[in-house]
Structure 1
Amino acid sequence: MSKEHFTPRKLVTIDSHIYAIPIRLGFQVALKFNQKHFIIRIVRNLENPNIPGFICEGEGINSGVLSSSSAAINTIYGRVFGNKSKTKYLGATMLGFHNPYMIQQMLNNVDFRPFTICLYGIKIFMASIPDNNNYEGFASSFMYKYKQKQSVIWQKIEGGLFSISIFQNGEMVKQFQDITASSVWNQTQLLRNCDGIDLFGINHPLVQFKFKERYERLFSKTCTLDDWNNKRIMQYMFKLYLKKHVPGDDELWYRILN
């Protein structure tokens, strides 16, 4: 499985925190209905790359790529057993999203598990937390109304800029960029009583913990002689062992040691 797609609509609680179940490209499940065999697969959705696609195959019939697992399964089931069949299956259940064992298997070896937090009564989906200390690559989203229409508010930090993209029905209708979270949110004229950095989710305790956890996971607490030429590792070692005891910053001490 080459890549993960995550969706905030499929959630599971682990250690009191809510995580998204990964919908992974290449994942497939074999099904058996009335002695006939079917396979449902998760593939790329070329029409909308922001969501996964689903294909169901059975008795030589192919559903084509659909945006819903339920639609893929029920389309082929209807063709195989007759369109008059009233039997309907929930795609998420057929894929095993109700089964704790299957969920754990899907979560194995996933480096980052997106999760949700709640601020100002809004559920914010934390889509990406980078393994650096400057927030580059951070992304989060939530649902909110823009010009009276329910929209997906997609937030990210890229190239040193805070960006907000607003999507309606899968299409981006507006985008804002600025150098701080507060200033970019001021441009939107939305949620004026809320702090922009809070709306991104960056200051939430769980998010800060995940930042620290991912950053520290990159490095061992010891270093080798070869690591002395790796600026990033040496800066981490400085913060870990020297910062509390010596004057100066990591940049100064890196130059001294090299």
Structure 2
Amino acid sequence: MKTLISLKDRDFIIEVVETSSNYGQIPGYICKCDGIQNELCDSLTAAVNSIYKKIFQTNAKYSGPVVMGFDIPIISEILLKDLSFCTFIFSLGKLNIWVLEIGKSNKNEWNFAGIGYKTSFMHTYQKQRCIYLQELNDDCCQVTIYL
């Protein structure tokens, strides 16, 4: 997917590419403007901000999803219309928590969450970005940390 956006009267092209990791397929992001292109970035925000900084010599920060228009309801609706389930994101302090799957149960002690419930968030641990995956299995909650 390629998208053209305009920041300070300059055209930025953002390309979302499919890459692979030890954990399967993941998105990668490349941003181009005025003949300058970044290396493959693991976040949309990093891709936009790296090129913006090179062009304007400033440390201004832009949210990649907002720049792409994901906060505009009609764009989100079009992108999500054929999906049977979409993730939910909510903020808790400095964390953005993604709800990936929802399950339900009759277990009051689990707040009625059930088998299949999954959430994840990214956090820096020992100067390395990690993904924390929380899952409810048959009789326990499992947390897996991917470095």
Q: How far 1:58 sits from its partner (Å)?
A: 1.1
Higher helix share: 1
Any residues of structure 2 matched to 1:239-254 within 5 Å, and which? Answer: none
Aligned match for 1:77, one of 30, 52, 72: 52
- The alignment yields a C-alpha RMSD, in angstroms, of 3.4
- The answer as to whether partners of 1:115 and 1:127 remain within 8 angstroms in 2 is no
Any residues of structure 2 matched to 1:30-109 within 5 Å, and which? Answer: 30-47=4-21, 49=24, 51-82=26-57, 85-109=58-82
Return closer, same or farther for 1:127/1:61 CA change in 2, 3 Å cut-off: farther
Q: How far 1:43 sits from its partner (Å)?
A: 1.5
| Runs of 4 or more above 6 Å deviation | none
Q: AA paired with 1:142?
A: T
2: CA distance between counterparts of 1:103 and 1:79? 30
Q: TM-score normalized by structure 2?
A: 0.61
Q: Which has the larger radius of gyration?
A: 1
Query: Structure 2: where are the runs of 5+ without partners?
Result: 89-97, 104-114, 122-130
Return closer, same or farther for 1:46/1:61 CA change in 2, 3 Å cut-off: farther
2: CA distance between counterparts of 1:100 and 1:124? 19
- The match for 1:152 is 133
Per-residue CA deviations over 1:174-207 (Å, capped at 9, x if unaligned) read: xxxxxxxxxxxxxxxxxxxxxxxxxxxxxxxxxx
- The answer as to whether partners of 1:45 and 1:67 remain within 8 angstroms in 2 is no
Q: What SS does the corresponding residue of 2:19 show, helix, strand or coil?
A: coil
2: CA distance between counterparts of 1:165 and 1:66? 29
- The answer as to whether partners of 1:55 and 1:65 remain within 8 angstroms in 2 is yes
Q: TM-score normalized by structure 1?
A: 0.37
